[in-house]
Structure 1
Amino acid sequence: MKIKQVIRGHRSIVILFGFELLVLIWAFCLLFGERTVIDINPENADYFNSCTINDGKLQINQSENEVGIDIVSAEYTNIKLKPGRYNIEAVYSAGLEGFDAASWSGGNEMPICNIGVTSGTFIQQLVGSGFNIYTGTSYNSEPFWINSITSCKDLALKVSYKGYGNITIEKLIISESVYFRYVRFFTIFFIFTLINIIVCILNNIIKTAFDKKIIIGIMAVTVFSSLPMIYRYLIVGHDLTFHIARIAEIAEGIKAGNWLIKIQPDMINGYGYATPLFYPQLFLYIPALLYVIGFPLHTSYQIFIVLINFGTCLISYVSLVKICKNKNLAFIGSFLYVLAPYRLSELYVAGRLGEILSMIFFPLIIYGIYNIYSEEKVLTFKKCIPLILGVSGVMQSHLVSILFVGIFAIMYALFNLRKTFKPERLCYLAVSVMVVIMLNAWFIVPFIDSMDMDIMVNGDGILRFQGSGVYPIQMPALFYFGRGTNVPMLVSDEFCLSMGAALIIGIAVWLYAHYKSLNSEKRNESMFALGNITGIFAIMTIVFSLWIFPWDEINNISRTIAVWLAKVEFSWRFLSVGTAFAAFCTVSGLYYAKELNKKIYSYSIIAMAAFTIISAGFFYADLAFDSNAAQICSKNDVDDFALGVTNDYQLAGTDLDMCKNKQIDVTSDLLTVTSYSSVGGKTEIGVMNAGTEAFEKVIIPVFYYPGYKAYDSDTGEQFYIEAGANKKIMVNVPAGYNGKITVRYVEKGVWRLAEIVSLLTLLALVITACINNRKKTA
């Protein structure tokens, strides 16, 4: 009877459940059946052009070929495939004859041909294209996806010659990734479960303490802030290719069983890059794992951005509601923060993933400090958890942002000197700092140990970012474009570096409420004090970001301070933490304005909401109209020379142009190289030293970052290595040696110890949380 009543009262929900059930049955049926493997015979092409078949192999020779670049040489048509994930695999031999690099302008390496798939009917459903074949390789593979309900019946595999070199293709195979059937099924199941939980909560079928309006609001803000990610392609921001490369390198490390990579071995054409030692990447494991289990690389990134937007909205809301005890005001603050012009511009135009990740945790840090300093609360270790998690989150996101956290935390402590030095509070602050250090020791220890490394970011240490400052005219921007870059000393063609009209209004509301409440009892409340400090800090960050602030003068005052501040690079980066301060002081201002003047309270909320939505809408329209977009499906699509704007972690004195070709050099004719391979950060080289007296040296195409070791592959005997030409690894081979040498990056023992400390600290925090939760339940 109860089931019938539920069905009658919720017919639309029953229809939704029925549709979901049909989709799940379809996905479940696709779990079964034989794995699709199509072994394509090179002789059976439906189309040939300037190529030959010899012993069952497809051959294209430059000397016999007079076609232009990107001409289809062979095509295999009418391939039928069910929905799913597939791999194109090719076995071949490729080489160049008399190649003149000066005549090529197609990229970092010289591709000989391209192998890819197309479809005349499944244009939208086919994701992925193909891969290039380069000299010096003999095997390559590339995934592609058919995202459809029905089968694709007109898939075509094409071999396109690039106009240079010789190639012999021995095998062409299209094989299905069976495990992706399960990934697809459980992804659909998870999405439907999430939708059903939300629907049931909104219809009171499931009871929850959360306000239904807030749930709808958070979901709406998440979707609206993620609109540019609901797109077939990926919008390419300034730093996007750098972060995509980081994600791809983590994924390759996971596939190779190396979960904690310290050097990106495939970057710079396989020479390696030390980003993980200096740039935290904990949260990048989320998109990396999505890519490993079978999603396209750009889809993994898009899902990650949606999760970031949801996390930012949820954490900022929870932090605000814990402070102000007002759900509506907390949501307004979260809404303004997530859709702030600076944040959206940094996310989609600049593509600064680290900075955007750190913005998730700024509200949590503010709430954590409020928790510890509030006189209205009994101080316990539990009150320190938000601060510990917030600081750790920023530390694992963006080191420049942790510098901001340190600056403003010290300033806050000095502003509240009397409270800070109360023994109990000082003790809990010290404990919080120690827990943060222990929890993040696995990153901090290698970072500090590598700081003396001779890399670009440790350059002259001269502070010179005053010229990157913004002008006051930019700060209250209402309409801002989805394009541009940072233009020193100018405003034209610059992307949005603004606090935005809505948050400027919010600061004005706080100033009004502060002035009106200055002589009342409200000034003794913790909420009022929080509004004061966040309002002052918000104004300070605006001033710090302006071109008139004399940053460059610090060079003449303190070299130590100048060296540290130089790592910030751009003064407008203060707006990241400033946006959080502005959102919190806005909520504080509205909190008191509601009692002081309801008209100002209501009109300001309407104005801020309208300005935020209009500004974001205009930004999205311009972003869609004038942005670069790309489909980055796999590691083959990643630019391995994407090192960030300033090549921060490149070894000083290295010439990247010399890395576009990989070459092994020897210092004597007595030394012969018999074999060479480099996979997953492990380089193996077979060498024979015919000399009888002296060491001879072999230089391999891998950069000499401190930490590399060379040893005999069989006996483990270590060989001395040093930096050779262009900072490449130079191995000293003893006289008479004939064998194989392994070269790989080896972590220090103290780094492993730091990882154990971090793991034990995390376990201790989890156990403490479980015990406290059990006590609360009891």
Structure 2
Amino acid sequence: MKRFITFLPVIVLIVLSYWSVSPLLEPGFFSIHDDEQVGRLYELDQSIKSGHFPVRISQNLGFGYGYPLFNFYPPFVYYVAEVFVLFGIGYIASVELMIGLGFLLAAYFMYIFSKEYLGKYGGLVAAVVYTYVPYHAVDVYVRGALPEFWSFVFVPAIFWAYKKLADTKKPLYLILSGIFFTCLILTHNLVAMMSGIFIAMYLLFLLWETTEKKRFMQQVALSGLIGLTLSASFWIPSFFERNTTMIKLLTMESADYNQHYVYLRQLWNSAWGYGGSLPGPEDGLTFQIGKVHIIGSILAGIAGLWLYLKKNTSWKILFLFIAMFSLATFMMTFHSDFVWDNLQFFAYIQFPWRFLLFTAFASSFLVGALVLVIKSERIKAIVAAVLMIGTVFFYKDYFTPKEYFKNVTDTDYINLDVIKWKTSIMAFEYVPNGVATKETNFGTKIDITKEQVATSSYTVIKGDIRLKEESIKPHYKKYFVSGSGGIVRINQFSYPGWNVFIDMNEVTYSDNNRLKLLQFNVPSGNHSIEVKYTDTPARMLGNVLSATSIIGILLYIILILLRKNKTSHHGKNKKRKNK
């Protein structure tokens, strides 16, 4: 019975989360803006099975010319879905399971964090309100922005780990805070950057509260070091190699942040829709924070004043979250343009309304805090139940896609013709700098037609040359060649790290062609050709730092266990002597 009572809050969260995940139970899949998710998972899966790890290159994305998607785009959610694939589950189902897990983990971490300050009833309210915030539905069922959706998991997870670290100073929470920080970077590096100011505000609050300030600062610094080094294999090459691609497209034209500020009235009420973000107040999708969330936050402010007058120290955390809520709201409006204009790296965030994630986090906590002013446990339980059930039924209809595709199967998404054209044309910002482009009514596009998509791994440009494919992998290609010599083009985009070898001797190649493909001379006779994707200094440094961090964490855990074991034996020996 005690065990049931212990797990009762989790059971409540699972039950009340049903309406957020119910569309995932429908057959097939559903319409989303970023309809590349299943195809991307397939490409990551194929790369892993070919022996390419950490995965950087997708063989078929980028119009079939090899695309370093996972060198620049955070890969975490695809690795989560890949776990299901490795257990024999289909690609669509694996994506849906990943989404469902994301909803449940976000609710769980919001609960255990909020419970630290608000008790179990406040924690449950905060978790349910967090689950059903409108932007949560927008990320999944409108935009299909699954990496950003999974950021809902790690923001409260980081706050919880730091809270536990401040309270206990235990190494476990030092390691967990670093791991959660790593996961956030690998999930959505832009959200990780945005969250920095909010995490810093919270850490200053914890520093103010703790008595062991120096030790806490040292542990926070170490957890930050763990987070940065553990994720280094991704963020170091992503940062230092970004200018080899057309990533600047992410800050231009329709992706310019100046076109996507939110009007204050939209935060209170904006029509639900499945369209896009447009200049002005008439967007095709909603940017509402949520009426329950706004009203609850205002009431929490009043409750904070009441607690302050009653000399209840809980007012401090409420005022901190009100400050976070206010800052996140401010950053979405054009009133913050001086911040965006002066912090140039903010341009990569693209959409100021991404800060809705942080209004969701802060306001959900504040709604949960309303139970703090209630003394009776029975009344707390009733109020909590009303808030949770009311929130679910007020917002559950938002968690519905525009359209179900009930008859689609994996093949409809992982067919190579689909991946090489339909999926590739949706996102191409990581193609090499210098690839031929054209201006269209929808902005800059790659100057390529469906007929020019790669259908073979190579093309003979000149001469009497015959190639036999021996091994074709995303990161490695091997051919046997014969003939009188000439020029061969490997249908692979040129990126730093690609090297060409003829008879095990490295040769120079040219990418001076409209699609920046690898092209080189082949002498007459019989030869072997190898094309290898190797680590650049940035990738090598990132890999070494990540590997070192993993080894360091494991050694640290072993050291802690040995110390604990030694202390335990010492205690037992002391008891025996006393006897």
Same fold (TM over 0.5): yes
1-structure distance, mates of 2:30, 2:513: 38
Alignment match, 2:195: 405
2:67 matches 1:270 = no
2-structure distance, mates of 1:770, 1:486: 52
3-state SS, counterpart of residue 244 of structure 2: coil
2-structure distance, mates of 1:352, 1:649: 18
**By how many angstroms is 1:321 displaced?**
1.9
1-structure distance, mates of 2:429, 2:209: 40
Corresponding letter in the other structure for 1:577: F
**By how many angstroms is 1:645 displaced?**
5.5
2:527 matches 1:739 = yes
2:234 matches 1:443 = yes
1-structure distance, mates of 2:116, 2:339: 41
2:146 matches 1:353 = yes
**By how many angstroms is 1:677 displaced?**
6.8
- Tell whether the 8 Å contact from 1:440 to 1:758 is kept in structure 2 after alignment: no
Corresponding letter in the other structure for 1:639: I
Alignment match, 1:613: 392
3-state SS, counterpart of residue 475 of structure 1: helix
2-structure distance, mates of 1:274, 1:703: 9
3-state SS, counterpart of residue 434 of structure 1: helix
Alignment match, 1:517: 307
Answer 1 or 2: which has greater helix percent.
2
1-structure distance, mates of 2:405, 2:21: 17
Matches within 5 A, 1:559-574: 561-562=343-344, 564-574=345-355
Spell out, residue by residue over 1:316-368, the C-alpha distance to the aligned partner (whole angstroms, 9 max, x if none): 212222333x2111111111111111111211111111011111011122223
2:174 matches 1:384 = yes
Corresponding letter in the other structure for 1:299: A
**By how many angstroms is 1:403 displaced?**
0.8
Alignment match, 2:18: 223
Alignment match, 2:419: 639
Alignment match, 1:706: 496
- Tell whether the 8 Å contact from 1:355 to 1:397 is kept in structure 2 after alignment: yes
- Tell whether the 8 Å contact from 1:699 to 1:728 is kept in structure 2 after alignment: no
2-structure distance, mates of 1:754, 1:677: 34
- Tell whether the 8 Å contact from 1:439 to 1:761 is kept in structure 2 after alignment: no
3-state SS, counterpart of residue 486 of structure 1: coil
Corresponding letter in the other structure for 1:474: Q
2-structure distance, mates of 1:212, 1:706: 51
Alignment match, 1:246: 40
Equivalent of 2:215 in 408, 424, 434: 424
Spell out, residue by residue over 1:586-637, the C-alpha distance to the aligned partner (whole angstroms, 9 max, x if none): 233432x2259999x79975774355223333324xx356566662414227
3-state SS, counterpart of residue 743 of structure 1: strand
* Pair member with larger Rg: 1
Answer 1 or 2: which has greater strand percent.
1
Equivalent of 1:716 in 504, 512, 525: 504
CA gap 1:661/1:255 in 2 versus in 1, 3 angstroms: closer
Equivalent of 1:594 in 374, 399, 424: 374
3-state SS, counterpart of residue 710 of structure 1: strand
Matches within 5 A, 1:147-546: 204=1, 208=3, 210-211=5-6, 213-239=8-34, 241-324=35-118, 326-372=119-165, 377=167, 379-412=169-202, 422-457=213-248, 464-477=256-269, 481=272, 483-492=274-283, 494-522=284-312, 525=313, 527-546=314-333
Corresponding letter in the other structure for 1:465: Y
**By how many angstroms is 1:734 displaced?**
5.3
After the TM superposition, which segments of 4 or more aligned residues of structure 1 sit over 6 Å from their partners?
A: 414-421, 458-463, 596-599, 601-604, 771-778
Alignment match, 2:366: 585
Equivalent of 2:335 in 519, 542, 549: 549
Aligned positions, number:
546
Normalization by structure 1: what TM-score? 0.63
Corresponding letter in the other structure for 1:536: A
2-structure distance, mates of 1:765, 1:243: 37
**By how many angstroms is 1:724 displaced?**
2.9
3-state SS, counterpart of residue 702 of structure 1: strand
Spell out, residue by residue over 1:658-717, the C-alpha distance to the aligned partner (whole angstroms, 9 max, x if none): 542447555644x624335773323334445746xxxx54222211111112113xx422
Alignment match, 1:108: none
1-structure distance, mates of 2:562, 2:246: 46
2-structure distance, mates of 1:416, 1:644: 47
- Tell whether the 8 Å contact from 1:701 to 1:728 is kept in structure 2 after alignment: no
1-structure distance, mates of 2:563, 2:125: 31
Amino-acid identity (%): 18
1-structure distance, mates of 2:316, 2:52: 48
3-state SS, counterpart of residue 508 of structure 1: helix
- Tell whether the 8 Å contact from 1:512 to 1:589 is kept in structure 2 after alignment: no
Corresponding letter in the other structure for 1:208: R
**By how many angstroms is 1:741 displaced?**
1.0
- Tell whether the 8 Å contact from 1:483 to 1:626 is kept in structure 2 after alignment: no
Alignment match, 1:51: none
* Unaligned runs of at least 5 residues, structure 2: 437-445, 572-579
1-structure distance, mates of 2:176, 2:88: 35
Normalization by structure 2: what TM-score? 0.83
Alignment match, 2:516: 728
Alignment match, 1:41: none
- Tell whether the 8 Å contact from 2:32 to 2:141 is kept in structure 1 after alignment: yes
Corresponding letter in the other structure for 2:276: T
1-structure distance, mates of 2:415, 2:488: 29
2-structure distance, mates of 1:446, 1:606: 48
CA gap 1:737/1:761 in 2 versus in 1, 3 angstroms: farther
3-state SS, counterpart of residue 431 of structure 2: coil
Matches within 5 A, 1:654-673: 654-655=435-436, 656=446, 657-658=448-449, 659-662=452-455, 664-665=458-459, 668-669=462-463, 672-673=465-466
**By how many angstroms is 1:413 displaced?**
5.5
